[in-house]
Amino acid sequence: MTLRRHFPLLNRPGPRIAYLDSGATAQTPDIVLDAVRKFETHSRANVKRGVHRLAEAATEAYAKAREQVAAYLSVSADEIVFTSGCTGAINLAAHSFGTLLKPGDEIAVSELEHHSNIVPWHMLATRSGVKVNFLPIDGEGRVVVQTLSPRTKLVALAHVSNVTGAVLDVAAIVAEAKRVGARVLLDGAQRTPHGPVDIPALGVDFYAFSGHKTFAPHGVGVLWAKAELLDAMPPFLGGGEMIASVTTQGFTPAKAPAKFEAGTPPISGAIGLGAACAWLATLDWAAIAAHELRLTGRLLDGLRAVDGVTVIGPQGLQCRAPVVSFDLADAHPHDICQIMDRHGVALRGGHHCAQPLHAKFDLAGTTRASLALYCEDADIDLFFAGLAEAKRVLT
């Protein structure tokens, strides 16, 4: 079973690319490229502010994209805010929800978070006197669910770690957050590429993710929040299209989601993301998950057999996404990636925007293979061929 045939970049003439960097940016299938091309060639115009036929078609296509994304998350379209990406979405939440907090209130994140889910909260702390607490991680790179301080107002955690691949125990976090009356934000950047997300079943309050990691264009992302929160939160950016009215004295914001979408939104990106979500929703995720996990198992088993390799993350396949980061006898991850590239293997090396996590493991960086639904055994074969050379050259 493979879906590789749907991805033109992976099928271009020439030697195979073993694309194992989907955690950074996933490739885009024909169906998404076609949707974007159709919009650009048939209905390109700005949304909302025109009555001519192209403007109407663009507005309709943009609204349809919101519906498609909402369906992928099992939520209402009015609760979907299009942003510039996952980073944009978390910054929106930090600014806007942050204004509802008081000095002395607390926010809990964890040591494994991507900087996108740390720095906006540090910035909020500097602005408003809230305190940021860090939940610890265990030796396998999983968040340890601890008793939260009664002052905690928000728990903001990665649904899936972009370094360890650990899947968060959402039920445990939500139960503990509820106990102290805190809201829960999930950073779903590494989760949405691996199948539809049932947000109501998770019981969280905010969900953020990026289009480009979910087989859609760059420059678009999503913040989902419960309607009651979107109503209570003030706008973040001001500008056109986010107002009900403006006078020389002030303004009245529009209702959500428009309230949070100042200026021209990422229209064609959103249309691409809608198409991606609609396509992903048609796939057999039980089969894809089994396929992704089998390949992850091959990576883990093969890495374990290499002298000098340490995998940073869960050693087994339970509650694990197909993201595998490792250290090879302290060889520099960039050197490893360069040698792997000669074998056609695309990996990422460095701290992966997760410096606190790497500090915890006493490493400056790791080398990461991150898989998606188009990966095949041949990619894993190339990975191990490249790794054998990297080991020979660098250790």
Q: What residues are annotated to the active site?
A: 353
Q: Which is nearer to ligand PMP, 321 or 339 (CB)?
A: 321
Instruction: Confirm or reject binding of residue 87 to ligand PMP (CB under 6 A).
Output: yes
Amino acid symbol at 34: D
Binds ligand PMP by CB under 6 A, chosen from 156, 158, 288, 390? 158
Cα distance between residue 106 and residue 152, in whole Å: 4
Size of the site for ligand PMP (CB under 6 A): 15
Instruction: Round to the nearest angstrom and report the end-to-end CA distance of the chain.
Output: 37
Return the bridge partners of 110, or none: 135
Mask 347-366, x = binds ligand PMP (CB under 6 A)?
Answer: ------x-------------
Q: Which C-beta is closer to ligand PMP: that of 114 or that of 142?
A: 114
The two tokens of residue 369 are: 């293979």
For CA atoms 179, 116, 118, 105, the dihedral sign is negative
**Nearest residue to 25 via CA among 391, 370, 378, 387:** 370
Q: One symbol per residue from 202 to 241: x for binding ligand PMP (CB under 6 A), - otherwise; what is it?
A: --------x-x-----------------------------
- Looking only at residues 101 through 130 of this chain, which bind ligand PMP when binding is defined by CB under 6 A? 114, 116-117
Q: How far is the CB of 116 from ligand PMP (least distance, A)?
A: 4
Residues 130-144: b if buried by 16+ CB within 10 A, e if exposed: bebbebebeeebbbe
187 sits near ligand PMP (criterion: CB under 6 A): yes
- DSSP for 208-265 reads EEESGGGTS-TT-EEEEE-HHHHHHSPPSS-STTSEEEE-SS-EEEPPTTGGG--SS-
Give the residue among 238, 234, 204 at the shortest CA–CA distance from 101.
234
Cβ distance to ligand PMP smaller for residue 32 or 339: 32
Nearer to ligand PMP, 36 or 390 (CB): 36
Nearer to ligand PMP, 189 or 328 (CB): 189
To ligand PMP, the closest distance from the beta carbon of 158 in angstroms equals 5
Binding site for ligand PMP (CB under 6 A): 23, 85-87, 114, 116-117, 158, 162, 187, 189-190, 210, 212, 353
